[in-house]
Amino acid sequence: MPLIRIINQQQTRFNKMTLRVRLTAWYILLLGVTLGLFSVYLYGLLKHNLSRQMDRTLEVTVSETLNLLIEQQGKIKLKHTLGSDSVIHNLTEAGFVVRLTSRDGNVWDGFGHYQLLPQFVSQEIGFTNIKAQDKLWRIYSLKISLLNTQGWLQVSQPLQSVSKTLDHLLALMLLSFPLVLMIAACGGLFLADRALSPIERIIRTAEAINQDEITCRINYQGSLDEVGRLANTLDRMLDRLQTALDHERRFTADASHELRTPLTVIKGRIGVTLSRLRSPQEYVNTLQQLDQEVDRLIRLANGLLFLTRLEQESLVTQTVELSHLLEILVEQLAPLAETKNIEIIQNIELNLIVYGHADYLTSLFLNLLDNAIKYTPNQGMITVTTALVDKGVNIVFTNTGLGISPQDLPHLFERFYRVEEARSRQTGGAGLGLAIAYEIARLHQGFISVDSQPNQITTFTVNLPFQ
Ligand code: ADP
């Protein structure tokens, strides 16, 4: 089988492994490599230190032995006094082998098992390793000279103790290595299991979600680590999706309801009219009523279309002369206000300029002014005021009249929400005007708020930033 195919097969198999196994495998691999490198370093360090330690003791033994030397008939020998004998005894007990030789290698004297050492002629001062009787010896040779007699002092110790310690360490490492890796693998699997268990829950929750049902949550209770934060973030995202879905469902239900009402009225009117022959005037009346209902349907469809466009559109801004725009709108609606004897008081600052969409802003202010006229009783009063505030301008519309109760206020900007359905429907409203105003203010990075109480002045405030 070609090598590439084998590698590909291995890769596919590895990709199929669970994250938990993969994490553990990487963990073991890294631990193995680290342990291996550390073991090699430890072994080398110990070997080096043990060798140095042995060399040091050989050097100390040499300097101690130098005090024990005497010259006898052209040879250098060990002196045997009470003090020196005890030193020789101690060094022999400690395993040192000391030998005194002539320059051509003849052994003059010594202590310890110095006969075991092979006869050799030292070439230079320093350390050498020599193999004798299956043992490796570390020998320190020193050229000595006493009363014109010259020779060599050789102090030695078997290297066995060092290699034994090193062998022990090696055996310990080789035995403990797989054991440590096995324990680490179990620990790694356990930890990966614990760390990834919320992910299992996330997967189960995600699988339970479908387009109609997104009520289930992960509800993670553990610590707020990365996985915990992911679980909480997903829960919050699901909350938002649920709100959007509920909103969408309510909107569809409300829109169907709003469309059905005029259609039912139209159907009913036609049915009644066709039930028998009518006079031409009766047909004209019916058609006029149908015309009104169709107008309502068109307004509704236009409102919905406009709202959808607002939601999808990103704003193209231009300079809008706000003061001028407000004055024109008030002027346009003044005849309508006059029909109800409503007085409109303007307090608009001159030369106010904002950046925005002129048509959308016109629509926003028209909605508010139109509502003010619609919901202000005859002989009432409307005011339009502007006020500069931090980084923007407030445009305040007030009107006298029935006011709005506190329980209605939070819902006022929702689509199709009407305070008094019958009254509002009579005035031709579909409950979309304020929702549209709200969207336009939001698109301009501004906001709209309302303040009112039953039978008190109603105030709508639009805030627009200058930039
Ligand atoms: P509509 O098209 O039915 O007027 P809106 O969204 O414009 O719908 O208004 C929602 C409701 O808020 C209306 O039904 C009305 O009861 C109330 N409302 C709006 N503007 C005023 C106002 N200026 N004064 C009193 N009530 C108002």
State CA 94 to chain mean position distance.
Answer: 65
What number of CA atoms fall less than 13 Å from residue 162's CA on the CB side?
21
Summary mean pLDDT of the chain: 88
Q: Whose CA is nearest to atom 19 of ligand 1?
A: 371
> What pLDDT shows up at residue 17?
64
CA of 329 to the centre of ligand 1 (A): 19
The three-class DSSP label of residue 169 is helix
Q: What local confidence, expressed as pLDDT, does residue 129 receive?
A: 86
In DSSP notation, 124-143 reads: SSEEEEEEETTEEEEEEEEE
Q: Is the CB of 430 under 6 A from ligand 1?
A: yes
Of all atoms in ligand 1, which is nearest to the CA of residue 435? 6
For residue 191, name the pLDDT band (cuts at 50, 70, 90). Answer: confident
The answer to whether the CB of 278 falls within 8 A of the CB of 285 is: no
By alpha-carbon position, which residue is closest to atom 7 of ligand 1? 433
Instruction: Tell me, using a 6 A CB cutoff, whether residue 419 lines ligand 1.
Output: yes
pLDDT in tens, 77-90: 888 887 888 888 98
Cβ–ligand 1 distance for 375 under 6 Å, the answer yes
Ligand 1 mean position, distance from CA 431 (Å): 7
pLDDT at 14 over 60: no
Q: How far is CA 161 from CA 5, 12, 135, in A?
A: 53, 52, 11
292-303 mean pLDDT: 91
**What's at 159, amino acid-wise?**
L
What is the distance of C-alpha 157 from the center of its chain?
Answer: 63
- The pair of structure tokens assigned to 336 is 């309508």
Of 375-379, 393-397, 426-430, the range with the lowest mean pLDDT is 426-430
Mean pLDDT within 192-214: 80
Highest mean predicted confidence (pLDDT) among 101-105, 253-257, 370-374: 370-374
Query: Looking at residues 411-418, what average pLDDT do you find?
Result: 88
**9, pLDDT greater than 70:** no
Q: What is the per-residue pLDDT across 341-351, written as a single tens digit (0 to 9) for each? A: 999 999 999 99
**CA-to-CA separations, 72 to 151, 319, 456, in angstroms, rounded:** 13, 121, 134
Residue 165 has pLDDT above 60, yes or no: yes
Residue 462 predicted with pLDDT over 70: yes
Quote the pTM value. 0.58
Angle at 349 between CA 348 and CA 350, to 5 degrees: 115
pLDDT value, residue 118: 77
Compute the residue count for the chain. Answer: 467
Please count the other Cβ atoms lying within 10 Å of the Cβ belonging to residue 191: 14
Centre a 10 Å sphere on the Cβ of residue 312 and count the other Cβ atoms it contains: 7
- pLDDT at site 11: 57
The conformation of residue 194, written as its DSSP 8-state character, comes to H
Q: Which helix (H) or strand (E) holds 280?
A: helix 280-312
* Cα→Cα distances 222→197, 202, 216, Å: 11, 13, 18
Instruction: Match 């009470």 to its residue by tokens.
Output: 82
